[in-house]
């Protein structure tokens, strides 16, 4: 029984060789066993077991660990072997690493194989040169020399670039082609390659490993250069070699990633990687050897690549690329078939059967129009036809509209009847006027504060109405209606008589109805135009606008508080300006009306100045999505995962209110040296933290989504051979992608910081520490508050993207309700148990809801599956 040992082959080529040998018994009639040996062979052994044909598993022997740098580990691994396949190689490392592994490691393997009497097949590489300054090429050649000295009957195979399912070379370019409209290649892409199919190399190794004396006589002590039958080309952007060397100087010191390249690899790109057309005496034709002993021809890139990259840009033409930004080459589109080992001419000839159309030499002005093979592949249409820039503009406009929600709303910092003389700068733009309004209307401060209570009530209820209408009738008209209501209500308050307290109450309720609903509308807009992968970043920008309210509200309110009508005239004018801007340019985005944005809405929905998508033709007749009935927002509460998420969000938001509602009173008591202006500026620390949290968290959410997506794609690719496996292109489908994990993976970190800062804040105020400490904690609290709320808000829209406004309105309703409760009792708590324990209690509330994140990660996919089943029924 022959025993084969593949050493340092726990990878792409080694696994293919092992499978070819094990699966060949049915065609060759020779039964052989394979043993995988490397430093850690268990993983590749398990993978091989799962991919072998039925009946071959019993011939896969248990793995044996071996290290080519430790000769004493090789003899036990090679014991009883009839053939040893040496795949000693290294891609990245220092010159000493290359010497240790590719030179002396190969020598150790050869000596061990010779001592046990095994046939040695050593895998080297085209380009091996003992005089090269590149460590990889130099040590490959020195390794070959050492192999023949230790084992004269060894056979050396020098493959060109090897391709096949799971290869790293084409896989990298495929990934780059997904994200770039061109292929960046150093030196103009004129270096020639002759890629060889991994199955052909594995077949050659299998043939050599047979116990066939005729075959052994023809290849013992010989070198075989393995290249494929053709080469291919692809449109590129030419980069100078010095750019690559500069890149390599940095990236070769970092962990391996998609863009990793070393300076030595850049030098290698200057050289052709093709079979030498002139054979030396000790060389054997790879092409003839495989064809004569198997009866099959070599596979081309043209044939194989589309089978495992069926939807990649320019699938079959990565190599032999034409130049751009350079003078025309006499024959830039060439084939290396003439360089195959059955030719002695060595002349390059043009090809006419390339998969991609002829590529012209591009000018710098034309490079953005470079066509890739993706132009000829049926790809999934984009989620939205709006460009990235247009999306950011749309979200920016929605954020501008959302600014008034917090600019108009009385920030709850001084909403406590126990605050001594409410300061004109302790709240945002409305609250500084409360003392003067109390005098003007001849009402107590408590009754004026009642207008705040009613404002909060309508702030929670109104979005349920407006958000539902926006999901039915469109974002643009409801946005404009809200801003118009807000502006007119501000005009009414500014002009009203001070004798009509009831009218003040009514107008404040109307004002809340207009301003508070813009938050829900903006969330719906993001759900319309952004995919899950983009929503985190867009929500980060979107919340920047509303968070400006707490930052600038105290300053503006203090400046205008001396004139009772000044605050409301300012709000009326600013909201009117926003109304006009959105009336002129804000487009309709509701997918029930415009689909992905390519369907023109009814004329009354179109902006007079179509700045967005102005370069796109708008067809007048196109099929519209099916009519949508008016949704019932209360039905949202029937979804268990949504209810848990709303509870989690509301508790965190109420803790936020508990902190912000007491700032005025607590800082006035603990730091009496602060004047009214200073107290107003205290809020900037919290607002600054919220601003930074909004922006940074959006980026984090997008990166977390992408990270998990790439991880699942890699897993799907590894398990593609298993029955019922998920295809890599399907991992982001709703039924396959764990969106809860993507949004909540970093949530425990944010929550821990939030709770710690909350508790620490209370005890700092209790101890009367330096004012810098609570202000620093304000920044941390502001940052983590927005990190948590942004994550939950994004997930809410992910769960019900077709009800983006309604779900946000429900979120607003629950947040305002629980927040109002906390605000009403926070002063009582502080007086009863003290500052420190009050915020310990609030922190404990955050800890109490922390299990919800883990529950949602495990329960969420099941809830989504039930919703899909109901929708399909």
Sign of CA dihedral 178, 180, 186, 188: positive
Helix locations, 734-850, DSSP H: 739-744, 747-767, 772-799, 804-833, 835-849
**Residue matched to tokens 């995919």:** 531
430 lies in a domain?
Answer: yes
Euclidean distance between CA atoms 665 and 870, whole angstroms: 51
What is the side-by-side order of every strand in the sheet holding 2-7?
Answer: 64-65, 32-38, 2-7, 83-86, 119-123, 155-159, 223-226, 283-285
398 lies in a domain?
Answer: yes
95 lies in a domain?
Answer: no
Domain with residue 480: its CATH number is 1.20.1250.20
Q: Could you tell me the mean pLDDT of each successive run of 10 residues in the chain, 873 residues long?
A: 60 84 74 84 82 78 88 88 87 81 91 92 88 86 93 92 72 50 47 78 90 87 82 40 46 47 54 64 84 82 60 39 33 32 32 35 40 37 80 86 62 36 36 61 70 72 78 86 89 79 84 77 83 77 66 59 69 88 89 84 84 56 56 78 91 86 80 74 81 84 88 86 81 85 91 94 91 92 90 86 74 78 82 91 94 91 87 73
pLDDT of residue 273: 57
The DSSP 8-state label assigned to residue 342 in this structure reads: T
Residue (of 122, 132, 193) closest to 158 by Cα position: 122
Euclidean distance between CA atoms 551 and 680, whole angstroms: 9
The answer to whether the beta carbons of residues 791 and 744 sit under 8 Å apart is: yes
762 lies in a domain?
Answer: yes
Euclidean distance between CA atoms 418 and 414, whole angstroms: 9
Euclidean distance between CA atoms 516 and 403, whole angstroms: 10
**Residue matched to tokens 């150093």:** 186
114 lies in a domain?
Answer: no
Euclidean distance between CA atoms 583 and 588, whole angstroms: 11
pTM: 0.50
Euclidean distance between CA atoms 67 and 38, whole angstroms: 6
The answer to whether the beta carbons of residues 549 and 409 sit under 8 Å apart is: yes
**Residue matched to tokens 């002139």:** 278
Sign of CA dihedral 602, 603, 606, 612: positive
Cα dihedral 276→280→286→289 (10° resolution): 160
Euclidean distance between CA atoms 159 and 286, whole angstroms: 9
244 lies in a domain?
Answer: no
Q: Can you tell me whether residue 138 is helix, strand or coil?
A: helix
228 lies in a domain?
Answer: no
Maximum pairwise Cα distance, the chain: 114
pLDDT of residue 722: 82
**Residue matched to tokens 């917090």:** 406
Tally of structural domains, the chain: 1
pLDDT of residue 697: 86
Beta bridge partners of 181: none
482 lies in a domain?
Answer: yes
**Residue matched to tokens 């006419």:** 352
Helix locations, 632-746, DSSP H: 640-660, 663-670, 676-718, 739-744
The boundaries of the domain holding residue 703 are 390-414+426-872
The answer to whether the beta carbons of residues 98 and 87 sit under 8 Å apart is: no
Q: How many beta carbons lie within 10 A of that of residue 26, not counting itself?
A: 10
């Amino acid at each position: 029984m022959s025993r084969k040992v593949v050493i340092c082959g726990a990878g792409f080529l080694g696994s293919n060789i092992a499978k070819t040998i094990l699966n060949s018994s049915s065609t060759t009639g020779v039964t052989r066993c394979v043993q995988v040996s490397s430093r850690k062979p268990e993983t590749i052994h398990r993978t091989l077991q799962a991919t072998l044909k039925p009946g071959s598993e019993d011939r896969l022997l248990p793995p044996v660990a071996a290290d080519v740098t430790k000769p004493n580990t090789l003899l036990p691994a090679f014991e009883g072997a009839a053939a040893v396949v040496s795949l000693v190689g290294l891609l990245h490392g220092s010159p000493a690493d290359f010497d240790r592994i590719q030179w002396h490691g190969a020598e150790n393997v050869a000596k061990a194989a010779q001592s046990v009497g095994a046939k040695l097949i050593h895998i080297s590489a085209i380009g091996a040169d003992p005089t090269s300054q590149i460590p990889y090429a130099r040590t490959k050649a020195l390794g070959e020399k050492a192999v023949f000295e230790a084992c004269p009957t060894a056979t050396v195979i020098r493959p060109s670039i090897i391709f096949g399912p799971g290869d790293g070379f084409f896989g990298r370019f495929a990934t780059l082609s997904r994200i770039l409209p061109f292929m960046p290649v150093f030196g103009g892409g004129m270096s020639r390659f002759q890629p060889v199919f991994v199955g052909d190399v594995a077949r050659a190794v299998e043939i050599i490993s047979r116990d066939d004396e005729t075959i052994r006589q023809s290849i013992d002590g010989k070198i075989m250069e393995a290249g494929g039958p053709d080469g291919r080309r692809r449109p590129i952007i030419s980069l100078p070699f010095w750019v690559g060397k500069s890149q390599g100087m940095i990236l070769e010191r970092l962990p391996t990633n998609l863009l990793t390249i070393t300076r030595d690899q850049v030098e290698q790109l200057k050289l052709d990687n093709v079979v030498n057309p002139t054979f030396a005496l000790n060389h054997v034709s790879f092409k003839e050897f495989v064809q004569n002993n198997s009866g099959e021809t070599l596979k081309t890139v043209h044939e194989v690549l589309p089978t495992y990259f069926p939807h990649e840009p320019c699938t079959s033409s990565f190599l032999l690329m034409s130049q751009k930004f350079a003078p025309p080459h006499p024959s830039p589109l060439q084939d290396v078939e003439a360089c195959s080992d059955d030719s002695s001419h060595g002349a390059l000839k043009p090809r006419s059967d390339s998969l991609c159309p002829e590529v012209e030499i591009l000018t710098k002005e034309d490079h953005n129009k470079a066509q890739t093979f993706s132009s000829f592949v049926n790809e999934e249409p984009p989620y939205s036809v709006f460009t990235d820039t247009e999306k950011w503009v749309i979200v920016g406009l929605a954020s501008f509209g959302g600014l008034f929600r917090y600019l108009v709303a009385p920030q709850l910092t001084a909403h406590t009847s126990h605050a001594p003389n409410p300061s004109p700068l302790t709240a945002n733009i409305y609250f500084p006027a409360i003392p003067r309004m109390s005098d003007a209307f001849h009402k107590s401060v408590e009754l004026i504060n009642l207008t705040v209570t009613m404002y909060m009530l309508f702030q929670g209820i109104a979005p349920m109405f407006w958000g539902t209408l926006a999901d039915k009738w469109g974002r643009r008209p409801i946005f404009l209606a809200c801003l118009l209501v807000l502006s007119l209500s501000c005009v009414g308050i500014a002009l009203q008589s001070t004798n009509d307290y009831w009218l003040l109450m009514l107008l404040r309720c109307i004002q809340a109805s207009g301003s508070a609903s813009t938050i829900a509308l903006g969330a719906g807009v993001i759900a319309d135009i952004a995919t899950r992968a983009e929503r985190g970043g867009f929500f980060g920008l979107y919340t920047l606008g509303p968070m400006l309210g707490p930052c600038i509200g105290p300053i503006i309110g203090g400046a205008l508080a001396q004139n009772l009508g000044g605050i409301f005239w300012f709000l009326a004018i600013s909201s009117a300006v926003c109304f006009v801007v959105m009336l002129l340019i804000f487009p309709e985005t509701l997918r029930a009306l415009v689909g992905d944005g390519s369907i023109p809405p009814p004329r009354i929905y179109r902006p007079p100045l179509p700045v967005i998508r102005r370069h796109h033709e708008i067809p007048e007749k196109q099929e519209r999505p099916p009519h949508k009935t008016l949704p019932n927002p209360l039905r949202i509460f029937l979804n268990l995962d949504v209810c848990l998420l709303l509870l989690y969000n509301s508790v965190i938001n109420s803790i936020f209110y508990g902190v912000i509602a007491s700032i005025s009173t607590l800082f006035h008591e603990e730091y009496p040296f602060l004047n009214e202006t200073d107290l107003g500026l205290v809020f900037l620390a919290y607002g600054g933290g919220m601003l930074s949290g909004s922006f940074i968290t959006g980026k984090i959410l997008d990166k977390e989504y992408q990270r998990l997506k790439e991880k699942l794609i890699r897993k799907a690719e590894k398990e593609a051979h298993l029955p019922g496996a998920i295809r890599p292109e399907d991992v982001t489908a709703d039924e396959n992608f764990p969106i809860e994990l993507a949004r909540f993976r970093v949530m425990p970190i944010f929550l821990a910081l939030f709770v710690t800062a909350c508790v620490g804040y209370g005890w700092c105020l209790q101890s009367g520490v330096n004012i810098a400490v609570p202000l620093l904690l304000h920044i941390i609290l502001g940052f983590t508050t927005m990190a948590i709320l942004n994550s939950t808000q994004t997930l809410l829209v992910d769960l019900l993207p077709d009800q983006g406004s309604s779900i946000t309105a429900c979120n607003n309703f629950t947040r305002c309700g629980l927040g109002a409760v906390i605000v009403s009792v926070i002063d009582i708590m502080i007086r009863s148990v003290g500052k420190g324990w009050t915020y310990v209690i609030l922190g404990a509330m955050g800890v109490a809801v922390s299990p919800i994140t883990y529950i949602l990660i495990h329960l969420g996919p099941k809830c989504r599956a039930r919703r899909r089943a109901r929708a399909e029924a």
